[in-house]
Amino acid sequence: MKKIYATLILAAVIFLTAGCKTEKKVSRYENLYAEKPAVIYIAPLIDKIERKKVVYAGDITFNHEINVAHTYMYQTLQYPVIRKGYYVIGPLAAKEIARADSTDVEDLRFSHDLTAYNIKYGIDAILFVTINRWMEENGEWIVYLNYTLKSAKTSKTLMNYNVKAHKTVILDSKRDPQMSVADWNFAEAMGTDNGTTQRARILECVNEYVLKNLPAGSKHKKFEQDIYNIANPECFDYLIDEENFINFATMELEVYEKECFNL
């Protein structure tokens, strides 16, 4: 990815000094440090979004935006993992692995036996990413996500995050989102339309934030130098506001589930 926003650095300082839970990586990622995975397979996205029926032109637009954002999200997952010192199964090989396995990806995520992936492909861990819901509310575009990294050796959970990610979207007189400078830069670089840009940027930013918190891989020169660094909260709220600043807050899992699943 081409950019890490300067605002992220400022927001991280605010986040870390705001009195949030401060669990260390040594305890949060205990299983990951113990197993020392080197090869990670990123499974196809688990997409639970209900597509709107194509009745009105707006439905077509909505479906286009979330479909393109979904594809873009998968493409951007590998880069922050690679930067942390892990070998990520390449796109073509990953596609072949997914094609060879008839198991539903969501069922696979909850499987108690992932050892076939380790034995057959030499995979140490599998990253599952779930898009639970997209919604628009009070001038914000919101997506509810889950990131789970599971061992292909023991099926233990090595990482698990639930994230409510949202972006403040100011609409113009035509009810189209107004684009920030960062939005314009993204749209120009990726060739995406306005709505798709908004959604794709949310997903890109969250991918970067969640996965850059992974401990350095066992082949990385900084392996185990980060064990006492602060880990992300396991469930958190991630907001990109109208001025393009990033804001974080710890979120209770019960609140996340109530909002995400209408409990």
Kindly compute the dihedral angle of the four CA atoms of residues 34, 217, 122, 117, in this order, to the nearest 10 degrees. Answer: 70
Alpha helices by DSSP H, the chain: 6-16, 25-28, 30-35, 57-83, 91-100, 105-109, 115-121, 181-190, 194-211, 253-261
Residue 91 backbone phi and psi in degrees, to 5: -55, -45
pLDDT mean across residues, the chain: 87
Domain span at residue 182? 6-261
CATH number at residue 147: 3.40.50.10610
| Nearest alpha-carbon partner for 129 in 152, 149, 101, 114 | 149
Number of domains in the chain: 1
Q: What is the pLDDT of residues 157-174, one digit of tens each?
A: 999 999 999 998 877 776
Mean pLDDT across the stretch 88-104?
A: 90
Residue 18 pLDDT > 60, yes or no?
no
User: Is 194 part of a structural domain of the chain?
Assistant: yes
Percent of the chain scored above 70 by pLDDT? 89
User: Is 1 part of a structural domain of the chain?
Assistant: no
User: Is 158 part of a structural domain of the chain?
Assistant: yes
